[in-house]
Amino acid sequence: MMALHNRVSAAELKQRLAKETFKRVTISFYQYAKIPDPQAFRDQLYESLFKLDTFGRIYVAHEGINAQISVPEHHFDTFKDTLYAVDFLHGIRLNIAVDDDGKSFFVLKIKIRDKIVADGIEDPTFDMANRGRYVDAKTFNELTADPDTVIVDMRNHYEYEVGHFEGAIEVPSDTFRDQLPMAVDMLADQKDKNIIMYCTGGIRCEKASAYMLHNGFKNVFHLEGGIIEYTNKARQQGLPIKFKGKNFVFDDRLGERISEDIISHCHQCGEPCDTHTNCLNQGCHLLFIQCESCARKYNGCCSEACQTVHALPEEEQLELRKGVEKGLMFNKSRRRKI
């Protein structure tokens, strides 16, 4: 029986990826559905996708599936057939990356989660079946042309910072579970207006739309397929694209270019920049925006202190990290000063 998890080092996997001579397609998809046995479904899915040289990160829960993956181009049709053979995934929309270098993932990870999106919702009467209405790219452009339409970005601050739709409201938090009640409070006096929610690929704004309806809002919409599907469809149909800047993505690319506008700034020198990176000091690993000049000046680190640590021999760095709780120093929040 094949192993249903990876046993190869990250370094070797990255080397293998670099040597590949074929193209890969980066895809995201999700589906809210009742999965009675997530573990059995996870194991079967892992075996099927592993045979197709699929890389990526997939979460499976009783409430459904959330996936961001990379598939060899020559296996795409087989991958699609494999996916569509599952009843609740038949005909599911596949979001194809807008700006893809084929290096988004280097390993396949499929994990069981309590929920496919951590939402903090504990109300047993909440029902995902009662969700907002889909809007496509054309309808989104038409509705948002009305100044009374409220556009709500349901992504984290660091995503909104580098790119968002014109006129979109930021719900200023770094966690989706905090954003949901915050959005209800922020829009409490606008319950009768048209409210359009959006996110990267659709999964968060779909749940957010259901949460808003659950809390008494009337005219709630969510962007079908999120920013990714909107951009692809707008380009195909020759529609004006109302998204400005970069779309942050949760893989090794850290972003895909939607428009040439650079609306954010280097966190170190303040120059226009929208390139996210992680601090090379592994005891920090802070996600931040850094221009090329500062990357050279600080050797890819977020501060002089981290630069000093990063320059130490690996043994000394490991010694410094001993006893530090895993993930304690990792902080994506804008509240952390650089």
The string of pLDDT tens digits covering residues 72-127 is 999 999 999 999 999 999 999 999 999 888 889 999 999 999 999 999 999 999 99
Domain at 160, CATH number: 3.40.250.10
Do 98 and 51 lie in one domain? The reply is yes
Do 32 and 90 lie in one domain? The reply is yes
The one catalytic residue in 199, 266, 273, 306 is: 199
Do 159 and 224 lie in one domain? The reply is yes
219-223, strands of its sheet edge to edge:
133-135, 219-223, 194-198, 150-153, 169-170
Do 212 and 165 lie in one domain? The reply is yes
Question: Residue 314, exposed/middle/buried by CB under 10 A (0-12, 13-18, 19+)?
Answer: exposed
Residue 244 lies in a domain: no
Do 270 and 333 lie in one domain? The reply is yes
Residue 248 lies in a domain: no
Do 164 and 194 lie in one domain? The reply is yes
Calculate Rg over the CA atoms of the chain: 21
Q: Residue 76 — left, alpha, or beta (φ > 0 → left; ψ -120 to 50 → alpha)? A: alpha
Do 196 and 290 lie in one domain? The reply is no
- Domain count across the chain: 3
Domain of 272 in residue numbering reads as 265-337
Residue 249 lies in a domain: no
Residue 160 lies in a domain: yes
pLDDT cut 90: percent of the chain above it: 80
- What's the confidence (pLDDT) of residue 282? 87
Domain at 103, CATH number: 3.30.70.100
Backbone angles phi, psi at 223, to 5 degrees: -75, 120
Do 271 and 325 lie in one domain? The reply is yes
Do 233 and 271 lie in one domain? The reply is no
SS3 content of the chain, % helix, strand, coil (to 5): 35, 20, 45
Residue 8 lies in a domain: no
User: Does 2 score more than 70 pLDDT?
Assistant: no
Do 164 and 80 lie in one domain? The reply is no
Task: Report the pLDDT averaged over residues 283-309.
Answer: 94
Residue 250 lies in a domain: no
Do 87 and 170 lie in one domain? The reply is no
SS3 label, residue 122: coil
Q: Contact, 19 vs 71, CB < 8 A?
A: no
Residue 255 lies in a domain: no
Do 82 and 143 lie in one domain? The reply is no
Per-residue pLDDT reduced to its tens digit, 14-40: 899 999 999 999 999 999 999 999 999
199 assigned to active site: yes
- What's the confidence (pLDDT) of residue 1? 57
Per-residue pLDDT reduced to its tens digit, 199-257: 999 999 999 999 999 999 999 999 999 999 999 999 999 999 999 999 999 888 999 99
Cα separation, 161 vs 260, whole angstroms: 15
Cα separation, 150 vs 136, whole angstroms: 16
Residue 128 lies in a domain: no
